[in-house]
Amino acid sequence: MSAELSSETVNDVEGTAEAERTLTALVKAAFPHETVPDTAYARTAAVVQKQAEASTWMRLKLAQGLDSLQALAGGRFEQLSAQEALPILLRIQHTTFFGFVRQTVVVTLYEDEEVWDALGYEGPSFDKGGYIDRGFDDLDWLPDPRIEEYDGEPLQEVVSDLPASASTSSTRGAAVPAGQSRARAGRVGNRRKDRA
């Protein structure tokens, strides 16, 4: 692959098996999970390619990004381990290409039910009656769930000692006639009407 990409080259890069393998390897390196099967990563990479097809500009960025990955990896990005791929990912992390891949993968990969199974997520519950009716207290995904009950004395209810006639309205300052300030009415500061 070359640094200069014509529209013919862009179309050639997109559909190649090499491009698919490189993109799948990128998704797997950027979102590594030991239990997630390669098929989920491949499906996610296919969605990234399909999303890029909607825009000539994104198709170009995808082709350039895949080309750059291969150049940075010496033509063998899909053969790198996650540890070997990390420095390359750090070099491209602020590119439009990687941003597009990342935002598409975050949504697509973690919507995949095969990924849910691999990560131990039971899926959404709104369509099954909510969490209350579906294992709300199921904490088997935690190493050692602990729920402690309060064994102390019952809490006392605090009741106000104020008489019923004492309310917030009686403790509030009286209304000031229109056109007068509280200072002129003798309600603010040390000034009073009789001292004026």
Classify residue 129 by burial, with Cβ atoms within 10 Å: 0-12, 13-18, 19+.
Answer: exposed
pLDDT for residue 46: 95
CB 21, CB 77: distance < 8 Å: no
Q: What is the pLDDT of residue 93?
A: 95
**Is the whole-model pTM more than 0.85?**
no
Give the pLDDT band of residue 121 (cuts 50, 70, 90).
Answer: confident
How far is it, in rounded angstroms, from Cα 33 to Cα 193? 79
- How many angstroms separate the CA atoms of 26 and 45, rounded? 9
On the question of pLDDT at 109 being above 90, the answer is yes
Listed range (50-54, 128-132, 153-157, 190-194) with the worst mean pLDDT? 190-194
